[in-house]
Structure 1
Amino acid sequence: MNLLFIAWRNFRYRALSSFLTTLSLMLGVGLVVMVMAIYGIISEAFVRNASVGYNLVVGPRGSALQLTLNSVYYLSQPIENLPYTEYMEFFPQEERAEMVRTYGGDPALGQRDGHYAGYVAGGYAIPLALGDYFGDFRVVGTTPEFFEKLRHGPDVDQPFSFRHGRAFEAYTPENQYFECVVGSRVAAQSGLHVGDTMNPTHGDPEGKGHGQGFQVVGELAPTGTPNDRAVFVNLEGFYLLEGHAKPLEEDAVIEPPERDPDDERPPLLMIPEREVTSILVRNGNLMFAPGMQNRINESGQAQAAAPIGEINKLMSAIVGPLLSALLVITLITCIVAAFGVLVSIYNSMNDRRRDIAVMRALGARRSSVTWIILFESLIIAVVGGAAGWFLAHAAIFSAGSFIEQQTGVQVGLFTVTQYEWLILPFVILLSLVAGIVPAMAAYRTDVGSNLSA
């Protein structure tokens, strides 16, 4: 009779003991697979969410990681603000002159190209102004170019789309610059819809309300990026809120803009009164990115950070070690489960000594008996390992819609992480090692004494 078949019969004969042993191994394998899957999802989500078209984030000098977390993920707090003139350095002379005419400021600002204009030609520079909240969600002051130029998705080629409404406009006489767009999660959790009014608070979720509200004109379709949990307001309206204007210096050179006497909108802040928290930059030629990054970092006024590089550092320095520690703990769980295999089979040896002696008396070799015990360990390992793998993937797949909504990562039933294929061979090897002790006990079974008993 085939030795593997005999081992399978023994496995079925000891049904309860075999089930409990296999269950413990299955749970251990399931934990390992889930930890590896979660690590893969977190890694992919961080890297993907840092890839939305721009290649540099420019902000005040300080922690590059904090700048990235604040500007890309809307986490942490702004380091400081940059003067608006630093944002103007990314534009050629014609556009700088237009800014001076529109907002008012030192006429000399419009008489030269910006220091970084040549690097950005063909790309873009989009300002962000942070500091306000709507509940627990960040309020982001920006321009309509945010929705026109930025991209998202696995290949960073999907434009923003709107589930309802539209993007806010740069100049809207009807609402005097106070329009906003809400992310999909903000809309779902707050109940804001197109036509409602959003009232931000200053500096903190529990901070003082500004009083001035923004009309919701658009609701973003889900993107799986941090933009789903942000409220985007017209930058001009953001500047007009109480406490957002930078005090003018006594010696500031300002030429006020010309205004249409029939224009009933409030006057815009002048350039010396404006600040930006950070600037999202895409070079016209990505080969120029390192040169521009070095030049900005050497300027003494600002710093430039590459989001993907900073996130990789975060993963290597903090997230990776934490998940590695968790993985070690789950591997220890598998080892404990393997010891359970050893104990279960070894304890059954006392009840099976007579059976083994009968097999030996009928002509079975010692090696055949040994292999039967090892095959029992192999069956437990294969059944428990396969069931644990499938259980973990079924659990992850059942939460697939939630995972995709939160991270933008699509998870299939058979989505496998990089090193996941090593788990089953490792469990099989571990179980075979655990089966050596009871196998040796079977090998040493004395035929005469056990038959006489």
Structure 2
Amino acid sequence: MRAAFHLAARYVLRHRIQSALLAGALGLVFALPLCLRVLMQHAQQELRARAAATPQIVGTRGSALDLMMTALYFKRENLLPLPMRALTELRHRPDATAIPLHVRYQAQGAPIVGTELEYFSFRNLHLDSGKQLSRLGDCVVGATLAKQRGLQPGGHLFSSPEQAFDMAGVYPLKMRVTGILTANGTPDDEALFVDLKTAWLIEGRSHGHDDLQKDQAVVLKQEDGNIVGNAAVRMFNEVTDANIASFHFHGDVSTYPISAVLLLPKNAKAEALLAGQFSRSKEQQLIRPRDEMEALLTQLVRLEGFAASALMLTATAALFVTALVFALSFRLREREFATLEAVGVSRVSLITVKVLEVLIVGIVAAGIGLLMLAFSTFAAPHLLRWAL
């Protein structure tokens, strides 16, 4: 047995590249279905947890999936915004807490989430360093985003314009980083949060500029108490202690947009009453993320089944190809085996050599598969966040 193992091991090592390619191919095709299952299980767990933690979401009529992805994962979807008065009406109800979200702009790829302080309590988000939002133009940053950008309290981030060459667009806002949030393994780690007024400032519904009454050189005309500035008026792209008083909003604030409202009913009765109320609305919709996510995961499970079946067929085909490779290899080595038999090696020992060669390659393939499975388990959270 020892001599047979020695011969098998020496052959595998002598043809190490061929053996490594064969073991790698086997390990890959057999590990892929298991890796897929690990990724799907983690995705289902994470998606269900995020959805289950959010009782209800209110938005405009349209795609329920788009509304859920906007409110839970800060994806900017093609949704009409809610007017601010919708939030005011919801807050008049004593049986639910309403938390607004405005998700439209980004800061170099990171979502800017306009919300209020209740959101941090709801998501159990705490500060790792710095302080909370205290004025217009402030932001707090998720742990992952802060680590990627090297941000600390007192640093700055610029909002990204919607169109790179929109000369008439809104200036990028230079936001002051006041705090860094602790990591909690959710999409909150990769976002930055501002208050609603700062989100509207980025959108151009507010601005600050030089005092026109003090600098007549920038006044275009003045009539009926209104002062109109000319093109020389200096617009501020950063809120500071010196210029914060110059920032003002235009128009009716009740018409200002928000993307969605997280609705937290006090009890099951309030949840049912709210669902019934919005079922009759023609302009707004109320969704339960848990239900919408289950519908989505049902489709994903079906797709997983098709993918797993295809991968198993591939693995079966790879197994047959491997058997063919070994059969051809043994056939080409007939003279080698005949020589060994002529010098006294028994047929049983030669069969043992062949079996051991197959086993060695199979064990190496199993090791490669286990390494891939371990890597997929480790990488699953990161892959899910990247995909979302």
TM-score, with normalisation over the residues of structure 1?
0.61
Q: CA deviation at 1:148?
A: 1.6
Distance in structure 2 (CA, Å) of the matches to 1:194 and 1:353: 74
Question: Residue type matched to 2:194 in 1?
Answer: V
1:297 matched residue in structure 2: 279
Contact conserved, 1:32 with 1:331, CA < 8 A, in 2?
A: yes
Q: CA deviation at 1:282?
A: 1.8
Contact conserved, 1:180 with 1:233, CA < 8 A, in 2?
A: yes
1:386 matched residue in structure 2: 366
Q: CA deviation at 1:216?
A: 1.6
Relative distance call for 1:241 and 1:383 in structure 2 (3 A) is closer
Contact conserved, 2:141 with 2:177, CA < 8 A, in 1?
A: yes
Contact conserved, 2:81 with 2:259, CA < 8 A, in 1?
A: yes
1:214 matched residue in structure 2: 175
Give 5+ residue unaligned stretches, structure 1: 93-113, 151-158, 170-174, 246-262, 410-453
1:32 matched residue in structure 2: 33
1:254 matched residue in structure 2: none
Q: CA deviation at 1:69?
A: 1.0
**Pairs within 5 Å for 1:223-262:** 223-240=184-201, 243-244=204-205
Relative distance call for 1:166 and 1:50 in structure 2 (3 A) is farther
Contact conserved, 2:7 with 2:353, CA < 8 A, in 1?
A: no
Contact conserved, 2:143 with 2:181, CA < 8 A, in 1?
A: yes
Distance in structure 1 (CA, Å) of the matches to 2:155 and 2:371: 45
Greater CA drift, 197-206 or 66-75: 197-206
1:188 matched residue in structure 2: 147
Q: CA deviation at 1:137?
A: 1.7
Contact conserved, 1:224 with 1:406, CA < 8 A, in 2?
A: no
> Which has more strand, going by share of residues?
2
Distance in structure 2 (CA, Å) of the matches to 1:192 and 1:12: 54
1:136 matched residue in structure 2: 109
Q: CA deviation at 1:26?
A: 2.2
Greater CA drift, 224-233 or 385-394: 385-394
Question: Residue type matched to 1:161 in 2?
Answer: H
Give 5+ residue unaligned stretches, structure 2: 207-243
Instruction: Report the number of matched residues.
Output: 336
Contact conserved, 1:134 with 1:201, CA < 8 A, in 2?
A: yes
2:42 matched residue in structure 1: 41
1:441 matched residue in structure 2: none
The answer on 1:395 being equivalent to 2:375 is yes
2:217 matched residue in structure 1: none
1:310 matched residue in structure 2: 292
Relative distance call for 1:380 and 1:293 in structure 2 (3 A) is farther
Residue deviations 1:290-349, cap 9 Å, x none? 4422321322231112223323333333x4455545434432332233113422443326
1:147 matched residue in structure 2: 120
What is the Cα-based RMSD across aligned positions, in Å?
Answer: 4.0
Greater CA drift, 380-389 or 284-293: 380-389
The share of aligned pairs that are identical, in percent, is 20
The answer on 1:86 being equivalent to 2:86 is yes
Contact conserved, 1:141 with 1:233, CA < 8 A, in 2?
A: yes
**Pairs within 5 Å for 1:68-147:** 68-92=68-92, 114=93, 117-118=94-95, 120=96, 124-147=97-120
Distance in structure 1 (CA, Å) of the matches to 2:78 and 2:295: 20
TM-score, with normalisation over the residues of structure 2?
0.70
2:65 matched residue in structure 1: 65
Q: CA deviation at 1:81?
A: 1.4
